[in-house]
Structures are given as C-alpha cells and as structure tokens.
Structure 1
Amino acid sequence: MMLAELVTTADRVGATSSRLDKTDALAELLARADPSELPALMGLLLASPRQGRLGVGWRGLTALDITHADDPLLSVGDVDAVLDVLAATSGSGSAAARTGILVDLAARATASEWDFLVRAMLGELRTGALSGVLLDAIARASDRPAAVVRRAAMLSGDLGETARIALTGTAEDLESVGLQVGRPVLPMLAATAATTTAALEITGEASVEYKLDGARIQVHRQGDDVGVYTRSLADITHRVPELVEVVRALPVNDVILDGETLSLDEDGGPRPFQETMSRFGAEVSRDLVLRPWFFDVLHVDGRDLLDEPLSVRLAELERVAGDWRMPGLVTADPEAAERLSRDALAAGHEGVVVKAIDAPYAAGRRGKSWVKVKPVLTFDLVVLGAEWGSGRRRGWLSNLHLGARDPEGEFGDPGGFVMVGKTFKGLTDELLKWQTEHFPEHESHRTASTVFLRPEIVVEIAIDGVQRSPRYPGGLALRFARVKGYRDDKSPGEADTIQALRALLRG
C-alpha cells in the first residue's frame, strides 16, 4: 500500500466528527492493505509506531530543511523499514545518523506525507482515530463480531496483530486468541467514587483493598522466565531485578499477576510516586528498592482465570502470592469498608479500591466492577498551555491550562481536549524550573503571556470537586485544583474525560 493512501484516509477521518464515517473510511483502508503491512499501518494510524521509541523529537523533525518529492514514492512498508533502522540507531554518533536517516526519508516523501509522518512519530495525529474506532473498523472490514475483535485486542494487547488475524484468519482463529504467559494484556481499570459507602452501593459485596500511590505492574512467569510490564505494556524486566526475584520464589510454575509496586522509606511508609517511577527509567539497578503488592491473578499453571469471579481469583491469589498480597477485606458492610480506608490513609496510601466480588476480570475496560475511592479526588489531565509567572515566579512558566479528554468530540474534534481550568498551586520551584526548560519542546504557539502546548503532557491534579462555570468551554471549573505530579507513565489517550468530571456535578 502506498503511504499516500494512508495519508488520504487519515485526512478523511480527521475531517469528520461522525464515528460511523470514520469507521467506514478506516475499514475500507484496512480491507485494501496487504496483511504484512497491518501492524505498521495500525501503528501509524494510532500515532504510536510499532517500533516504540524512535529517539527523535519535535525540534529534530521540524528543523530539517528539505525539498520534498513532487509525486508519491513511498509505500507503508518503505516507511516501516526506515523506522526499524531509526529505532535501532544508538551509541556514539547516533544523533547525526538519525538526522541523516530522517533527511533521506523526508526527501522521498511529499510535503503532505512528511507532515503526516512527523505527527505520527510525535504521537499527535488529531484524527479521532482512537483505538475504539479502529476496533470497529477491524470488525467491519473483516465481517467479524465487534465483541470478539475487542476481546482479542484486549488479550493480545496488539491492535496490529488483531487486525491481521481478523482479516486473514478464520473466525476460530480470532476466537482462540487468549491469555498467553509472556504476552501482557491490557489492565482492568477502575471508576471513581467519593466514598467507600457510595462505591459499595455500586458494587455490592466487594473486596476492599488498599489503593497505593505506586506504579501498576503486570508480571508473567513461565518456569524461571519472568517478565515485568508497565500499565502501557512496556517491558521493564531488566530494570526491576528485585521484583523478578520475588516472583521466582512463588510456589507456582506459570502465572500472570496484576499489582502495584512502590518503594518504602526507612519507617515503612510509601515514598513519592516520582521516586518509584525513577526506577522504571533506570538502565541499572538503583539503591531504591521496589516492593510488589499483588491484587489479582489471571492465570495459574495452565488455567485461565479471566472469566472466573473475583472470589475465585482471590482464593488462588492467596495460595500463590501469600505475604505479597495487597491488604484488604471482603465485605458488604460500609462501616468495615470505611475502617479499612482509614487504615490505608493512616499508612500513607491514597485510599481504597472497591471491587465487586462476583465480577470477572475485564481486560482493558473501565466499568463499575472496580471503583477507586480517595479522600481527595484526583484526575489525570493534559497540559494545554502555561502562563509566564509574576513576582517571585517571574521568568518561569507557571499557571497551567488544564484539559480533559473529549472522546466523543462534544466540544471539538473527537479524541481532542477541552479546557476545564487553570492552576499554579502545588508547583515547587523544582517543577517550575522543569516546566520552563521542557515545555518549549512541546510548544504549538505562544502569545506575550502564554506558551500553548501540544496535548502531550499528562499531569495528576487533585481537586475538591467541580462547579458549573461558563468561563471554560467544558461548562465547568475545577475547585481548588493543585498539582500532585507529572505522569510520565501515562499517555494523553489515558487522561480522564470531560464526562468523568461532569459526573461530579450535583443535580
């Protein structure tokens, strides 16, 4: 398939707000693609190339002074091969080598193709072609049931491979996609409630468990081989040897565990989230030791547990994980749940997660079976801009413009972001310095007072609630918003939605 066909389809998808029209356009594209091109095609459509990190940034891509091709010459396969080389380029002289690779690719692309490739490599395609639309398109193009396609994608964690199986395999091939030890699956997600009592009203009898301010991990073990993955399915095994050691000592041969990890201080209390995340970025082991807490088990010694109720999975988890289990209790009593929540807070943790005891594990989905409860509401929002500070903050980028995800396009492009407030509270001098140094790398444009950013940076914001307000496009404003920290582990597509914030409005 020629790259020009992909660019034309992306333009068509971006020009409509109709989910049905987007699905039709993408389905037509997928049906024409060669099966070998599907993984690369899906990666470019999602602005998440299948190669992962490419080692290129905005300045390096936009600073190239290139005369582009007049006519389309590149195929999707050509681009994919170049990205393979780009991702593999490292070591001394790699910066110059990457520039040379990019110059050659840009010269072979037309201006519109290069614009598309730059946005795809930087993760900022604004087509509204999010994973949900692509899953619908795969189902349409392959004439397979949407539910079966979605389950295959969730259990494989790979939309490109799901598309290949759906479009080239049999119905049985698609239905047979299941858990595979060593292949991470999309994690189950939690909704939010203000109190444990409110959460229990949603779930009924539940397992009420500590909610840590840690990092989500999924651990796979097959014999002595152990793999540790982040919530985004990145492999961090070589960076967390202490977690590998714990899992190898468990009384089991094959297992898939879901949990969290964080580091503890000298008194046994949790260290800040940023310190835990620093280990994920380390190439070698640090003095900071991580401890795992496991709260679910998806597979044990040949037996898949995804569709079993939580009560069954917890019994197996107790047998397998023992002392490494997340603290919690099974109850339908609001007072008992509140006591556990107070215990979690007293221990320095965020709160609790309330999980329906009869619910299966819904990989990749956020439903009402899991409900997180924190005494202060926190939301992951995207930074849309920052204003220059005044007084002692003069010279620093300070007041943040915050945006919530708008998946349905109620306030603009589907998958875009709508502004819901501003805040400068919670920003330390260290964060102000970091913002001032790094925000220009994500700049889209600026005025005398404000630097506006592409929606690429996720920040965790604590709020006391929301209130109706005509001041911002979303019709609401955040109450007492303050910065908790930046979330390098989350993509803009994982930010909280305007609908989630609107649900907090009374009446």
Structure 2
Amino acid sequence: MLLDELVATAEAVTSTRSRLAKVEALAQLLRRVADESPSEVATAVGMLVAKPRQGRVGVGWRGLAQVRDATPAAEAPSLTVRDFDELLDRLASTSGAGSAAARTDLLGGFLRRATEREQRFAIGVLLGEMRTGALEGVLADAVAAASGRPIALVRRAAMLSGDLGETARIALAGTEEDLTGVGLVVGRPVLPMLAASAKTAAEALTSTGEASVEFKLDGARIQVHRAGDDVRVFTRSLADITHRVPEVVAVVQGMPVRDVILDGETLTLDEGGAPRPFQETMSRFGAEQARETVLRPWFFDVLHIDGRDLLDEPLAVRRAELATLAPDHVIPGEVTDDPEAAERISREALAEGHEGVVVKAIGSPYAAGRRGSSWIKVKPVHTYDLVVLAAEWGSGRRRGWLSNLHLGAYDPAGEFGEPGGFVMVGKTFKGLTDDLLRWQTEHFPTLEASRDAHTVYLEPITVVEIAIDGVQRSPRYPGGIALRFARVKRYRDDKRPDDADTIQALRTLLR
C-alpha cells in the first residue's frame, strides 16, 4: 500500500471533529490494508498512533529538522508503507561509531523520495507526535467497525495484549474465537487502567460510593511482571526498562510468590522519607545505568497471582491480596464512604508532598486501558497569569493557525534577566478552542516583534491565565523551572503585563 494513503487518511481524521467520521475514515483504510496487504495491518496501525513496532529509533527533533530543511520534497507519492517500515528497521539497527551520520544519510535518502505531506507524517511518527486525533480509542472503534467484531471484545484484546496493531491484525484476519483467546500473559504488559478527574475527594466519593482513597504519588507509573525468577518492569507506555531499575527488580524477586503482575509507581525519596521532585525521579528513571539515587516501588494493584487472573475481581479482593503479598510496598490509603474522611486523607497526602489522592470504587474490576468513573484522581490545580512571548504556527488540524504559546513570568527585579522583563517558563497549545486559535491568528501579527519560519515573536503585552499542575526544575529556561501540564484557561484583557505572576512566585512551587 502507498504511504500516501495513510497520510491522506490521517489528514482526513485531523480535519474533522466528528468521532463517527474519524472512525469511518480509519475503518475504510483498515479494510483496504487488509485486502491489499494483510501483513501490513499492524504496521499501519502503529504508524497512525506514532507507536511503530520498532519503538524509538534514536532520532531526535534537532537531527530531523536539519535533515528535513536540507532535503527537497518529491513532487508525487511513490513510497509504500513497507518502505517506511524498512527505514525504521534500518534506523533501529544502526548503532556504534558513526551511527549518527549513518542515520542522517538513511533519513535524507528516504525524505528525498517523500512528498511534503509524507515528510510531515514520517517526522511525526519518528518523534511520537501524531496530532491527528487518531487516538487509540478511536482506532479501536475503527478496528471493530472494519472487522465486524464486537467493540468490547476488541478493546479487551487490545488492553490484554498491549498492542492495538496486533489486535487489529487478529480482528481482521482471524476469527472471533481468535480474538476471544487473547488473554492475560505474565511477561506481556497490559494497558494501564486510567482515572477520571474531580475537584475534591468528597466530590469523587459521590460518584464511586465506598472507595479506597489512596495517595497519588508524584512518581513514574510502573507495571511489574514476575515469572519464576524472571522479573520485567514496564513503563506507562509499555516500554521495557528492567535494566534501569535493579532496585525494583530486587523488591519483587523477594516477594513470596512465583508468578505475579503488579501495578504501581516508583519514585525517589529524600533523607527524611519525603518524595523528591518529579524531575529527579524521571532523571533516575530514565538512566541507562544505575545511579546513586535509589528508586522505591509502591504498588496499588495486583492483576495476577500464581495462575489466577484478578482483573475481574473487585478492588477489595485485589487490595487484600496485595496487602498480604507486599505489605511494606502498598501505597497508603483507607477504605471509606465518609466524605470528611476522604478530605482528611487528601490533606494528609498533600502535607507529605504528594500530588493528591485517587478515589477508587471498592467493588470495581481492573479496566485496563480505560478511563472510567471507577477511579477518580483529585489533585490541586494552580492558575497563574503569564505573558505570551511568542506563538508557533500549528500543524495537523491547527495548520495555518498560530497555536503553541511561549509563556513568560514577570521578573521585576531582574533576577533572571533584565529588570521588568519576562522569563520564559514553558509552552502550551492545550485548552485552545477554535475561537481562540482564530483570534490569536488575527491578533498576534499586530503585536509582532519578529518572526522566523515557525514562530511569530510578540511584544510582551498579552496576559493569559494558565492552569498548571505544578512546576519542575529545568535547565532549558533561565528561571530554572518549567511548567507541568500547562493549559490555557482564558485571556486576561483586564490585566497589564506587570500584573502577571512573577518567576519568584512560580519557583515557590518547587519542593
């Protein structure tokens, strides 16, 4: 199949807000792939969600930008899905001395054969940034539509295999019994269960009824599988990072069990036992070699014990099993139906330096890969007034609009730059409606100070209210911090630039 057919479908999905239209476009594509090249079904699905089977292939944004800027695009499409898949194979297998130059040559040769929109698509896949709206939930619906299989069966197979592409292949090429046969396998990661959000623990409890109210740790999600003496540790995105976390492996090897699957978090602690900043945990979490900082695992669920699947058991049963198996590594929490007790636990979690709490219905099964009302996270949201320093031209559905905002905090004393200036603390395009995108695109050029091919730099006079979950240390910006999960709330026409919040105020959020 021509790669251009995937690209065209991705663009069609990007251009519509209708979930039904997205599903139909993707289903039509999957039917064509299954008819023309059945072996490429899983490959195509992986590309559409920017999760190719090869994983990350050692190519970063800077290298890609340099190659693309120096590479003219082809006039007409000629590349196939197989061509792109083979490129990813070659990039993934390139290592050792001179590998960077070799990857550049491979990329340059491929991009010279690609049209402009194929180049954009390929770069999105390589960077894991496909903003097409073809999220895995939409694609799962499309797999069901294309194959005629029940959506519940497709979703369960995808969550238990952790591989939507392989699930699509089975659904389209196999029987319904083949799909039903996809089960929980120790050593093969499953999609993690996700949580909805609420403003308060008491509010969350009204949805769940009696619940386990548990600390929400500011760590990194882990899923640990043990089969005999073999222990494997996976990330939230199902990447295998066993070699990076020997201390987690040692803890699970010491448990009185033969086979087990555990869900939890890992984080670093300071000398007093309090959690270190998230940035430090992620730095240690991503290290290829052991460092002095030690990661401690905390578990909040168990999915399998010695031949017995627990996915469909109520949380009360799973928590009891976990407490017996790993009493020293269970995330703190209490079972309650009392809103006042839930609020007390939330305050205790915050006082100990954690993010908040997760309220979990005590009778709920483990719905892997789903975000429902059985688990509800509660964590404080901070809002700050910041100044827009620049806006980047959008891509995908936002193409042609000024989108990604550069955000600055006020620095009245000039501690991090010129007195009365603004210190960049992050970027975001989250929360921008079509109306806001349209307004930005019309208004910001009137404030233009300069521009390059990708960004319009502005006079720093526009104040915007931004919601964040906190800040983290970052060497990228002069103030030494970066916003966490920033999203636009509204523009503040009633405020002047010197009314914006200061870099010093933001830095107080650092623990």
Q: TM-score, normalised by structure 2?
A: 0.79
CA RMSD of aligned residues (A): 3.5
Q: 1:368 to 1:409 in 2, by over 3 A?
A: farther
**Match of residue 55 from structure 2:** 52
SS at match of 1:125: coil
Question: Could you tell me how far apart the structure 2 residues matched to 1:55 and 1:485 are?
Answer: 34
**Match of residue 485 from structure 2:** 460
Of 404, 412, 418, 1:384 maps to 404
1:364-383 matches, cutoff 5 A: 364-374=369-379, 376-377=380-381
Of 404, 410, 417, 2:430 maps to 404
How many Å apart are 1:69 and its aligned residue?
4.1
Q: Which amino acid aligns with 1:295?
A: F
**Match of residue 6 from structure 2:** 6
**Match of residue 35 from structure 1:** 38
How many Å apart are 1:70 and its aligned residue?
4.3
SS at match of 2:485: strand
The answer as to 2:327 corresponding to 1:322 is yes
**Match of residue 16 from structure 1:** 16
How many Å apart are 1:258 and its aligned residue?
0.8
After TM superposition, the structure 1 stretch with the greater mean CA deviation from structure 2, 346-355 or 272-281, is 346-355
1:335-484 matches, cutoff 5 A: 335-374=340-379, 376-377=380-381, 384-387=404-407, 392=414, 393-394=416-417, 398=424, 400=426, 402-404=428-430, 421-422=465-466, 431=474, 433-435=475-477, 459-460=484-485
Instruction: Show structure 1 runs of 5+ residues with no match.
Output: 414-418, 440-456, 473-477, 487-507
Whether contact under 8 Å (1:400, 1:424) holds in the other structure is no
Q: Which amino acid aligns with 2:20?
A: L
Question: Could you tell me how far apart the structure 2 residues matched to 1:85 and 1:437 are?
Answer: 40
Q: 1:4 to 1:479 in 2, by over 3 A?
A: same
Q: 1:471 to 1:42 in 2, by over 3 A?
A: farther
Whether contact under 8 Å (1:400, 1:423) holds in the other structure is no
Question: Could you tell me how far apart the structure 2 residues matched to 1:238 and 1:200 are?
Answer: 39
Whether contact under 8 Å (2:382, 2:467) holds in the other structure is no
SS at match of 1:182: coil
Of 181, 190, 193, 2:186 maps to 181
Whether contact under 8 Å (2:464, 2:489) holds in the other structure is no
**Match of residue 279 from structure 1:** 284
How many Å apart are 1:397 and its aligned residue?
5.0
Query: Could you list the per-position Cα deviations for residues 111-135 of structure 1 after superposition, in whole angstroms to 9, with x for gaps in the alignment?
Result: 4322322233233434322222211
Identity between Structure 1 and Structure 2 (%):
59
Whether contact under 8 Å (1:189, 1:366) holds in the other structure is yes
The answer as to 2:357 corresponding to 1:331 is no
Query: Could you list the per-position Cα deviations for residues 304-351 of structure 1 after superposition, in whole angstroms to 9, with x for gaps in the alignment?
Result: 111111111112112222222122222223343344334333433233
Query: Could you list the per-position Cα deviations for residues 50-107 of structure 1 after superposition, in whole angstroms to 9, with x for gaps in the alignment?
Result: 3221222333223333344444332211210111111222222111111110111122
Question: Could you tell me how far apart the structure 2 residues matched to 1:438 and 1:125 are?
Answer: 29
How many Å apart are 1:360 and its aligned residue?
0.7
How many Å apart are 1:43 and its aligned residue?
1.9
Whether contact under 8 Å (2:425, 2:479) holds in the other structure is no
Q: 1:70 to 1:399 in 2, by over 3 A?
A: closer
Whether contact under 8 Å (1:39, 1:160) holds in the other structure is yes
Whether contact under 8 Å (2:22, 2:134) holds in the other structure is yes
Q: 1:210 to 1:16 in 2, by over 3 A?
A: closer
SS at match of 2:62: helix
**Match of residue 87 from structure 1:** 92
Whether contact under 8 Å (1:7, 1:116) holds in the other structure is yes
Question: Could you tell me how far apart the structure 1 residues matched to 2:374 and 2:350 are?
Answer: 22
The answer as to 2:298 corresponding to 1:293 is yes
Whether contact under 8 Å (1:426, 1:483) holds in the other structure is no
Whether contact under 8 Å (1:217, 1:228) holds in the other structure is yes
The answer as to 2:122 corresponding to 1:102 is no
How many Å apart are 1:359 and its aligned residue?
0.8
Whether contact under 8 Å (1:399, 1:423) holds in the other structure is no
Q: 1:50 to 1:438 in 2, by over 3 A?
A: farther
Q: 1:155 to 1:458 in 2, by over 3 A?
A: farther
SS at match of 2:142: helix
- Corresponding residue pairs, total: 450
Question: Could you tell me how far apart the structure 2 residues matched to 1:424 and 1:352 are?
Answer: 17
The answer as to 2:282 corresponding to 1:256 is no
Q: 1:264 to 1:470 in 2, by over 3 A?
A: closer
Instruction: Show structure 2 runs of 5+ residues with no match.
Output: 384-391, 393-402, 439-462, 495-499
**Match of residue 400 from structure 2:** none
How many Å apart are 1:262 and its aligned residue?
1.2
Question: Could you tell me how far apart the structure 1 residues matched to 2:268 and 2:10 are?
Answer: 43
Q: Which amino acid aligns with 2:60?
A: G
SS at match of 1:260: strand
SS at match of 2:477: helix
Question: Could you tell me how far apart the structure 2 residues matched to 1:483 and 1:35 are?
Answer: 54
Whether contact under 8 Å (2:406, 2:428) holds in the other structure is no
Q: Which amino acid aligns with 1:352?
A: V
Question: Could you tell me how far apart the structure 2 residues matched to 1:402 and 1:274 are?
Answer: 19
How many Å apart are 1:427 and its aligned residue?
6.7
**Match of residue 492 from structure 1:** none
**Match of residue 225 from structure 2:** 220
Q: 1:59 to 1:212 in 2, by over 3 A?
A: closer
SS at match of 1:213: coil
Query: Could you list the per-position Cα deviations for residues 399-420 of structure 1 after superposition, in whole angstroms to 9, with x for gaps in the alignment?
Result: 54544368x989789xxxxx97
Whether contact under 8 Å (1:255, 1:298) holds in the other structure is yes
Q: 1:335 to 1:245 in 2, by over 3 A?
A: same
Q: Which amino acid aligns with 1:247?
A: V
The answer as to 2:64 corresponding to 1:61 is yes
How many Å apart are 1:21 and its aligned residue?
2.4
SS at match of 2:430: strand
SS at match of 2:196: strand
Question: Could you tell me how far apart the structure 2 residues matched to 1:484 and 1:183 are?
Answer: 42
How many Å apart are 1:188 and its aligned residue?
1.3
How many Å apart are 1:436 and its aligned residue?
6.5
How many Å apart are 1:216 and its aligned residue?
1.3
How many Å apart are 1:6 and its aligned residue?
1.8
Q: 1:197 to 1:13 in 2, by over 3 A?
A: closer
Question: Could you tell me how far apart the structure 2 residues matched to 1:53 and 1:485 are?
Answer: 33
Question: Could you tell me how far apart the structure 2 residues matched to 1:482 and 1:403 are?
Answer: 20
1:234-245 matches, cutoff 5 A: 234-245=239-250
